A and B are shown apart, each in its own frame.
Chain A
Amino acid sequence: AQKITQTQPGMFVQEKEAVTLDCTYDTSDQSYGLFWYKQPSSGEMIFLIYQGSYDEQNATEGRYSLNFQKARKSANLVISASQLGDSAMYFCAMRELLVNNAGNMLTFGGGTRLMVKP
């Protein structure tokens, strides 16, 4: 089974509107971290937002918020007031301890390409 599933390969949104990017995850660990990264065409990986498995409040960072529903194992990213510069690839990722407990691994979903229309 996929650890991280992003079901929307591509999405369009009108400038200034809000958009939700879906992410579901699969883990049996109690302690894990959920991340969203933005990757523009230039290639760098830009951190957007983080949610810890024990955090009860949904994370927010400026125009980004993470809709964390632990029982449903979903961690959707909401971008409010979309801007043209938001056009990019967006990756959901989960960080878990490795089986040996010595390290951790970030597992990425397949990504969603967001295109903001003027």
Chain B
Amino acid sequence: NAGVTQTPKFQVLKTGQSMTLQCAQDMNHEYMSWYRQDPGMGLRLIHYSVGAGITDQGEVPNGYNVSRSTTEDFPLRLLSAAPSQTSVYFCASSYSRLPTGELFFGEGSRLTVL
């Protein structure tokens, strides 16, 4: 089972460049979300989606856009990369929006902005 797949695993950008982190899940999960993890810290919610066509902001949404055109895919776009966006990004999915039940994580995408 593929589970949650993130690409790329590593990326280096220059300040001002844009890029898209891809996330796909094959578990038919309605709920998907993006988190970022800064060094030595836990994860913080960037954006989430409760189903195709529905997205909303999390705790730290500035500088990021998302879309959900299909149930499977939930890409995260960095519009104009800044050094403060250097982080490890995790995509996660779950069966529903309810707070109970397991949350499945991708392996993470390490982004460095110079």
Q: A62 an interface residue at 8 Å Cβ cutoff? A: no
Q: A91 an interface residue at 8 Å Cβ cutoff? A: yes
* B residues in contact with A44, CB < 8 Å: 105, 107-108
Contact B98 A104 (CB under 8 A): yes
Interface centre among B41, B56, B99, B110 (most CB of A within 10 A): B99
Number of A residues near B (Cβ < 8 Å) is 31
Contact B99 A91 (CB under 8 A): no
Distance in angstroms from A107 CB to nearest chain B CB is: 7
Contact A110 B31 (CB under 8 A): no
- Which of A20-47 touch B at CB < 8 Å? 29, 31-33, 35, 37, 43-45, 47
Contact A47 B99 (CB under 8 A): no
Q: B61 an interface residue at 8 Å Cβ cutoff? A: no
- For the complex, what is the distance from the CA of A83 to the CA of B97, rounded to whole Å? 35
Contact B56 A33 (CB under 8 A): no
Which of these binds chain B: A63-71, A73-81, A95-103?
A95-103
Distance in angstroms from A54 CB to nearest chain B CB is: 8
Contact B103 A108 (CB under 8 A): no
- Which of B78-114 touch A at CB < 8 Å? 88, 90, 92, 97-105, 107-108, 110
Within 8 Å by CB of B103, from A32, A35, A110, lies: A35
Residue numbers of B with Cβ under 8 A of A are 31, 33, 35, 40-45, 48, 50, 56, 58-59, 88, 90, 92, 97-105, 107-108, 110
* Selected A-B contacts with CB under 8 Å, 23 pairs: A31-B99, A33-B101, A47-B102, A53-B100, A91-B42, A91-B43, A93-B42, A102-B50, A102-B56, A103-B58, A104-B31, A105-B45, A105-B48, A105-B58, A105-B59, A106-B43, A106-B92, A107-B42, A108-B41, A108-B42, A108-B44, A110-B41, A111-B42
